[in-house]
Structures are given as C-alpha cells and as structure tokens.
Amino acid sequence: MKGAPKVVRRLRSLPIRSRLALLVAAAVAFAVAAVSVACWFIVQKKLYDELDDDLQAKAGRSQEITDVQTLLNTCPEAPTGPAGWQRPDYYLQLVKADGTACVASNSAGTVNVVSSDIKVMENAKPGQGMYRDGHDSEGRPVRVLTIPLVVSVGPGARAVSDDAAFLIAYPLKSTQSTLNELALLLLAVSGIGVVGAGVTGLWVARAGLRPVDQLTDAVEHVARTEDLTIRIPVEDDSEDEVARLSRSFNSMTASLASSRDLQQQLIADAGHELRTPLTSLRTNIELLTRSEETGRAIPPADRKALLASVTAQMSELASLIGDLQELSRSDSGQQGDRVQVLDLQETVESALRRARLRGPELTITADLQPWYVRAEPTALERAIVNVLDNAVKFSPDGATIDVNLKAGELTVRDHGPGIPTEDLPHVFDRFWRSPSARALPGSGLGLSIVARTVQQAGGEVTLTSAEGGGTVATIRLPGAATPPPGAA
C-alpha cells in the first residue's frame, strides 16, 4: 500500500493516450480474467459431475455382485477379489468400521481411507454416499465415492450394512490434465486478448485524441504568436465532447479577435477624437504663452475668447474621457453588485429635470406610467439622459419633445431634422457621427453607451424616423408595473 501513491504519480505523469491504453488493457484483463476463471470452474464442475455420475452408476452395479459378501467375510486375508469385479481402471474396496480396507486383487490400487468414509456407516442410508477428492497409497489423486454397503440377509432380502461401506474411485489424472490444458489455453488467449486490447486502446486513444492534439497545437500557437485567426476544423454533424470543445475554442478565439479589433478601433477612434481638442488647447495655450513672453498683450475680447475656448475644450475632453470610462466599465460586465430594482418612472423624471435645464427654450411633455426594472441606477439614468440630450441638441428653438412611458416602453420623439435612412444602421456605433452633427459638440459615444446599458438590462433600443419629421427613440425594458416582493 505504501507504493500506491508512487504508482498513481507515475500514472499521472504519463500522456493521456498511454493512460487510456493502460486503462483499456486493465479493463480487458479484468474482464478476460473473470471470464476465464468462470469458464475454468464451469468446465471443472461439468467434468466432476460426469465423473460422479459414472461412479454412482458403477457403484450400484458392483454391489449386485454376490461375491461382495465373500470378500467381506474373508477380509483382510483374502488375496483375490470377487470374479465379478473386472474394473481395471477403478479402485474397488470395502471399508470396515475400524477403518480396515478390503481391497480386491483386480482393483487399480488402494485408496487411503479417511474419517469421512467411516462416518458414512454411522449415517447409513441406501443410495446416500459421499464424494470427495482423495489419494491412493502411491499418492495419485483420485475421485472417491463412498456409499453404504447393501448386503443380502436372506432369500430376496437386502439390508444396509452398518459395519462396512463400499468405496469406488477413479483416477483424476486425465481430468486434471484436461483442466491444466484448459488453464494454459485460457491463459494464452487472455494474454493475447490483453495485448491486443492494449494495442487497440492505444490506437483508439490516438485516433480519439487527435482533435485534442490539434486543439493543443492551436492553443500553443496562439500563446506564441497571439494569432487569433487560427481555427480548428470540426465536422458539422459531429456532436461529441471533443467537437464541442473545438467549437467552443473557435468561438472563443473569434470573440477574442473581434474584441481585440474593437479595442484597437476604439483606441484609434479615441486617439482621433482626442487629437482635435488637444490640438486646439495646445494652440490656444501657445498663443497665451507667446503673449506673455513677448509682452504683446492680447486684446481683452480675444483673450476672453481664448480662455472660453480652452474651457470648452477641457469640458469636451472631460466628457470624452467620462464616456470612454463608461464604455470600459460596461464592457467589463462587472455590474452585478450595482444592479437593483428601479422605478423607471422616477429615473425618467430625474433625467427630464436635467434635460429641461439644458434646453430651457424647448417644451418637453411627459406621460409616464409606473414600471419597475432591474438595472444599474446611474448607468440607466445616464442612458436616458443621453437620449434626451440628443433630442434637445437636434430640436430647433421652441420645438416640442414628447416623452412617453407605458408598459416598459419609453419613447422620446423630437421634431428636429431627423436621421437619414442610410445613417440609421450606424447610429449606435462608437464614435460614429452623422455628417450633419459633426459640427456640433459631442464625441459620438452617447448612443453607443445607451445601447450597451439597455442590452445589459435585458432590453433593446431603436431609432426610427418620425412621421412629419424628427426622430423617435424607443427603449424597451423587461419588468412589471408593480415592484416585486421584497424590493426596496
């Protein structure tokens, strides 16, 4: 038992295909051994049963010979057995109560008498004998049947003797030779079966683990080269575990490649968007610095305009950085702790108050009905504010913005210029801005943040052109008109 941990460690250090081959060989060896042992015992019982039946038949015929009584009377001096006992292959003898063996001269030999032979006389019943394995006087194995002796007690009358028993035996040499040959044959077949099972198991393991090797090579290739374009070939109709693993790997690398492309695109777009305000800031600050260095004062009106431009560019930078942080936080998916049951009506009302401050010249109408959702409070309010800000930004002075909330569907309808049909598929892309909006403040991330926040809350958002001009933004969120039990 002390060596068991070492064996386990050695097995664990082997390749999987070698372990599978060993396991297959061990399983086959166990099965073959069990079948072989069972087969050997079944054949042994069959041979012994046939031998016992033969001994029983011959014992019955032998006791019909009248000279048995003569042998019993002259035992043990009589050197010659009854003439009727012509059994050259059999051992024929009588056993007296004191253990004396009366052996006929034409018996194959003398069988050693044991105590169980004498007990047969004590429980003497006609036809009830005892089978056992024994040995003759020279040590050869024999199969022995000892039965009570039936003797004649008068004309036509017989009785069971209580002072003698009849013993008949047959050599077991041929039977044991047959069993030994069977054992050798089964051992040879078992050995061939185990070796064949091991070879077959190794072949099956190699064939079955070939996709795993491909997967391993692919993973190592990705680790070395960071090449996420590699794919593992999988048959379309294959549904086994390896095929599922390969499909999962292909899906994972495709997602990682897409994520990396999006990350690179985000960095490029962010760099492009940051370049404009940074360039403007640098230019304005250089003008102010040069004015101080040369002593040439900038006119107060121009200086005030420069400072206002610096402030505006700083605000744009802060807004852009905030949007990037919001997108990064949304992409990480780590919002589980902040998600809670919200009253969407209250969230929309809070967003409306902020929107009215940003567009005091506009009329914003609201028709809101109760609706409760599960979402992150800050992110959801910011998403709704972004939608309202877009409506405020593109609405002309004195226009009306209609806001409605009914059965979890929030609609914001403005009366601005609207969005061209060809631009609608791109409105939720990061940093995308329509040609008509590029002159207005903004980074092009607002609607992207809206789409990500709504999707994480289990809803959907769409933008469509409104009849009569303008745009309708629709947000649908799953929830209920009443708060769930236990909600704060």
3-state secondary structure 439-465: CCCCCCCHHHHHHHHHHHCCCEEEEEE
Task: Report yes or no on 487 lying in a domain.
Answer: no
Cα–Cα dist 263/268, whole Å: 9
The pLDDT of residue 298 is above 60: yes
Least confident of 120-129, 137-146, 249-258, 356-365: 120-129
> When comparing pLDDT for 432 and 483, which is higher?
483
For residue 280, which of 315, 329, 232, 251 has the smallest C-alpha distance?
A: 315
Q: How many CA atoms lie within 13 A of 198 on its CB side?
A: 12
The 3-class SS string of 374-408 reads EECHHHHHHHHHHHHHHHHHHCCCCCEEEEEEECC
The answer to whether residue 273 is domain-embedded is: yes
Looking at per-residue confidence, does 300 or 142 come out higher? Answer: 142
- In this structure, the answer to whether residues 23 and 90 fall within a common structural domain is no
Residues 309 and 452 both lie in one domain: no
Q: CA dist 163 to 58, 117, 120, Å?
A: 22, 12, 10
Give per-residue pLDDT as tens, 139-197.
899 999 888 877 655 555 455 666 778 888 899 988 889 999 999 998 898 888 888 87
φ/ψ of residue 137, rounded to 5: -65, -20
Q: Give the pLDDT confidence of 334-381 residue by residue, as tens digits.
A: 455 578 888 999 999 998 988 888 788 888 899 999 999 998 888 888
Judgement on whether residues 442 and 352 belong to the same structural domain of the protein: yes
Tally of CB atoms within 10 A around 231: 13
Is it the case that residue 258 has pLDDT exceeding 50? yes
C-beta separation of 400 from 363 below 8 A: yes
Task: Report yes or no: 146 and 155 within 8 Å, Cβ to Cβ.
Answer: no
Residues 374 and 454 in one domain: yes
- Helices and strands: H and E segment counts in the chain: 10, 12
* CA-CA-CA-CA dihedral for 170, 173, 175, 181, to nearest 10: 180
Take residue 297 and report the two structure tokens written for it.
């004062």
- Is the pLDDT confidence value at 430 over 60? yes
For residue 270, pLDDT beyond 70? no
d(C-alpha 122, C-alpha 334), whole Å: 91
Are 29 and 48 members of one domain?
Answer: yes
| Contact predicate 403/411, CB 8 Å | yes
Instruction: Determine which of 16-20, 199-203, 216-220 has the lowest per-residue pLDDT on average.
Output: 16-20
> Per-residue pLDDT for 404 more than 90?
yes
Mean pLDDT for the stretch of residues 21-39 = 84
Write out the residue range of the structural domain in which residue 321 sits. 241-331
* β-strand partners of 169: 91, 144
**Does one domain contain both 195 and 53?**
yes
pLDDT for the residue 377: 86
Give the mean pLDDT of 251-268.
75
Q: Which of 305, 331, 357 represents a domain boundary (last residue)?
A: 331
Residue 193: inside a domain: yes
Cβ atoms within 10 Å of 266's Cβ, excluding its own = 18
Residue 46 has pLDDT above 90, yes or no: yes
d(CA 277, CA 91): 120
pLDDT of the residue at 161: 67
CATH number at residue 364: 3.30.565.10
pLDDT at 71: 62
Do the beta carbons of residue 137 and residue 96 sit within 8 Å?
A: no
Is 217 in the same domain as 297?
no
Residue 474: the pLDDT is: 92
Please state, in angstroms and rounded to a whole number, the distance separating the CA atoms of residues 174 and 3: 43
Regarding whether 406 and 291 lie in a shared domain, the answer is no
**CA angle at 450 for the pair 410 and 318, rounded to the nearest 5°:** 130
481 belongs to a structural domain: no
474 bridge partner residues: 411, 462
Cβ atoms of 373 and 478 closer than 8 Å = yes
Handedness of CA 256, 257, 258, 261 (dihedral sign): positive
Q: Are residues 429 and 377 part of one domain?
A: yes
- The DSSP output letter for 3 is T
| Residue 102, token pair as written in the block | 């009366």
Tell me the C-alpha distance between 425 and 463, whole Å.
Answer: 9
Give domain status of residue 368, yes or no. yes
Helix (H, G, I), strand (E, B) or coil at 175: helix
Q: Is residue 348 in a domain?
A: yes
φ/ψ (deg, to 5) at 382: -65, -40
Classify residue 445: in a domain, yes or no. Answer: yes
Same domain, 352 and 465: yes
Boundary (domain end) residue, out of 286, 304, 331: 331
Q: Is 138 exposed, middle or buried (0-12, 13-18, 19+ CB in 10 A)?
A: exposed
Q: What is the tens place of the pLDDT at every residue in 79-118?
A: 444 444 455 678 888 888 777 787 776 778 888 888 888 8
Token code pair at residue 296: 């040439």
Q: Which of 211, 205, 206 is nearest to 250 (CA)?
A: 211
Which residues does 297 contact at the CB level (< 8 Å), separation at least 6? 291
- Say which residue the tokens 């969407």 belong to: 344
CATH number of 88's domain: 3.30.450
Q: Are residues 156 and 131 in the same domain?
A: yes
What pLDDT, on the 0 to 100 scale, is given for residue 417?
A: 81
What lies within 8 Å, CB to CB, of 451 at 6+ separation is 428, 461
pLDDT above 50 (res 488): yes
In the prediction, which pLDDT does 82 show?
46
CA distance 413 to 92: 119
Q: How many domains does the chain have?
A: 4
CATH of the domain at 250: 1.10.287.130
Q: Are residues 88 and 154 in the same domain?
A: yes
On whether residue 484 sits in a domain, the answer given is no
305, pLDDT greater than 90: no
pLDDT in tens, 327-346: 666 555 545 557 888 899 99
